[in-house]
Structures are given as structure tokens and as C-alpha cells.
Amino acid sequence: MKKDETILKLGHIIKFARSKKNITQEQLVELTNISKSTIANLECGIGNPTFKTIYQIGKALDIDMGVLNNFQL
């Protein structure tokens, strides 16, 4: 599957924020009830997440939705 630049940027933000909070993917699964494969794929720049998925991850990692919308750190 081809990686989309937007999803790659989103994945980098999610991975960075998760690492900064010292949260494992498994812990993020518990916080969001999103599958580990979905989180792993997003962090690798694969997939097409729904707004709900992005919102749940952002909320769990305390990422402002404006940051996710603009893909800035």
C-alpha cells in the first residue's frame, strides 16, 4: 500500500506525542479502544483514519486538534 504524505505526517505526530508521554502502543490501545494494528499502521503512515480515530488518539495523548489539523508540532 502506498504511503500518503499526510498520513505519514500524522503518524509522526502520533508517535512523537506517544513517545514524549512515555506511552506504549499497548497502553494507547487501552486508552483509546483502537486496535494495535490500526495504531501501528498510522504511526507507519499506512491507512485512512476516521475523524473519530484521530480525535480519540489526540484526546488520549493530549494533542490539540488544531495541531493535528495543521500537522505541526
pLDDT tens-digit profile of 14-65?
999 999 999 999 999 999 999 999 999 999 999 889 989 999 999 999 988 7
Cα–Cα nearest to 18, from 61, 54, 47 = 61
C-alpha cell, 69: 489539523
pLDDT given for residue 73 in this prediction: 46
Which residue blocks in 1-73 are alpha helix, DSSP H?
5-20, 25-32, 36-43, 51-60, 65-70
Structural contact between residues 43 and 11, judged by C-beta atoms closer than 8 angstroms: yes
User: Is residue 67 scored above 50 in pLDDT?
Assistant: yes
Cα gap 28→18, rounded to integer Å? 8
C-alpha cell, 10: 500524522
pTM: 0.83
